[in-house]
Amino acid sequence: MAKNVKVYSTPTCPWCIRVKQFLKDNNIAFEDYDVGSDQVKADEMTAKSGQMGVPVIDIEGEIIVGFDKERIKAALGL
Amino acid sequence: MKIYDLIIVGAGPAGITSSVYAARKRMDFLVITGDIGGQTAYSGDIENYTGYQFVTGRELVHKFEEHMRSYDTNVKEGEVVIEVERIGEIITVKTNKAIEYQAKTVIIASGKRSKELGVQGEKEYKNKGVTYCATCDGPLFGDKRVAVIGGGNSALDAALQLERIARKVYIINNTPGLGGDTIMRQKVEKADNVEILNNSQVAAISGDKFVNSITVKSGEEEKKLAVEGIFVEIGLIPNSDFVKAVEKNKLGEIKINNGNETNVPGIFAAGDVTDVPEKQIVIAAGEGSKACLSAFRYLAQH
């Protein structure tokens, strides 16, 4: 079954763009939250990750900060 | 082991331009890079790259990458070079993935990275209010109070991005007046929510879970400003540590001649990592082109 994947990002950050591209290239569906315009999601992101840097990826509850390709792959079972 | 004609280290404006020239010369080459776009990817608005009256860093990097990849170029992305060494006529390039590559020529185009302040609280609050990328993290500070540290073009660029998002922007500058381009300085000075503190240094960063204040010193006077975000833009240091053999200046920039040659035959360098006067996207691109043509000429002679 497809995993529940959320990406917290801003429209301008280069690593956010690459994370989303990576997920698309691997046909992974994900919820995309713009934490620059959505304060509720921004607070959710800082609460989950304990920090304010983007991107933050939530894969079935596993929180990954930054475009850590190896960890993302492992969490997705790629 | 396969021996390439050329290995390009870095994929900012210099490395990408080198790759375009190398592809068009049909060289057998490889690009090894941690990221795509280098500092340009983190730039806000760019108004001085010829042909574009206005382009964002993100758009320009997209065009650069598109151009590079249009030639089926072999790009090892996410791989960081940790050593470059010339033994005999062959140059060995080692990466953080414990892989070794060999080539007859190498172009070092690894650029620069942000300098840190070195004050109390900086490391502790990194990504908890302290950031080195206004373009990335700026949008998270909507309606908050922030401080930009620095007084050059990158600080002005950060302040101009934040002025549209944040409630209040302090610029903490340690010289008597802001530097950078006049046109940017005027924009900053005109913004209502920007306050410039000249002759001022950061003494400490504090908070609880996240940053809540910054201590600023001007002369003998010390004051605490309530801020949630701190954007450090105090300049850059070259990514040149991994290449020991080449001569560098006291800033750590790789010394090159006007043909982009270092003191080591076969090793060339281009862009912000070198001692070329002026660090600009358009200059880095031009330098990348020159370095590739020099490497091509070197290969023809060796």
Could you report the predicted ipTM of this complex, rounded to two decimals? 0.79
The percentage of chain B sitting over the pLDDT mark of 70, rounded to a whole number, equals 100
Segment B255-270 shows an average pLDDT of 98
| Interatomic CA distance for residues A76 and A71, integer angstroms | 8
| Interatomic CA distance for residues B242 and B259, integer angstroms | 22
| Interatomic CA distance for residues B279 and B200, integer angstroms | 26
Closest residue on chain A to B78 (Cα): A69
**Of residues B35, B56, B140, nearest to A52 (C-beta):** B140
Q: What is the pTM of this model?
A: 0.81
Which tens digits make up the pLDDT trace of B174-212?
Answer: 999 999 999 999 999 999 999 999 999 999 999 999 999
pLDDT, residue A11, reads 87
Asked if residue A1 has pLDDT above 70, the reply is no
| Interatomic CA distance for residues B136 and B212, integer angstroms | 20
Contact state of A10 with B140 under an 8 Å Cβ cutoff: yes
Q: Tell me which of A27-31, B132-136, B239-243 is least confident.
A: B132-136
pLDDT bracket for residue B251 (50, 70, 90): very high
Chain A residue numbers touching B66 (CB-CB < 8 A): none
